């Protein structure tokens, strides 16, 4: 699962128990996830969030704040 958001946003995911948690950066293999990595595409800055998922399912994300 991978989400690309505007650079000023911070994103967390639902932990399945009604809370929020950061994305796993080493879920399944070292470096397989991202927790706010900065990217620039066509001159626009973004932040990347995501993690490796072995099983099908839903992931709910929250836009927690703008920096």
Please give the tally of structural domains in the chain: 1
18 to 14, 28, 31, 60, 61: CA distances (angstroms): 7, 24, 27, 11, 12
- Is the overall model pTM greater than 0.95, yes or no? no
Element (H, E) at 46: strand 44-50
67 to 5, 10, 26, 57, 60: CA distances (angstroms): 12, 7, 25, 30, 21
Is 64 part of a structural domain of the chain?
no
Predicted pLDDT of residue 3: 84
Is 66 part of a structural domain of the chain?
no
Q: In the chain, what's the furthest Cα-to-Cα distance?
A: 38
Is 67 part of a structural domain of the chain?
no
Q: Is the pLDDT of residue 43 over 90?
A: yes
Is 25 part of a structural domain of the chain?
yes
Q: Is the pLDDT of residue 15 over 90?
A: no
Domain extent at residue 20: 2-55
Is 61 part of a structural domain of the chain?
no
Is 44 part of a structural domain of the chain?
yes
Predicted pLDDT of residue 41: 92
Is 65 part of a structural domain of the chain?
no
């Amino acid at each position: 699962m991978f989400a690309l958001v505007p650079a000023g946003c911070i994103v967390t995911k639902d932990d399945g128990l009604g809370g929020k948690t950061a994305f796993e950066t080493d879920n399944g293999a070292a470096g397989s996830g991202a927790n706010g990595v900065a990217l620039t595409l066509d001159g626009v800055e973004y932040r990347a969030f995501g993690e490796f998922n072995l099983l099908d399912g839903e992931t709910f994300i929250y836009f927690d704040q703008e920096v």
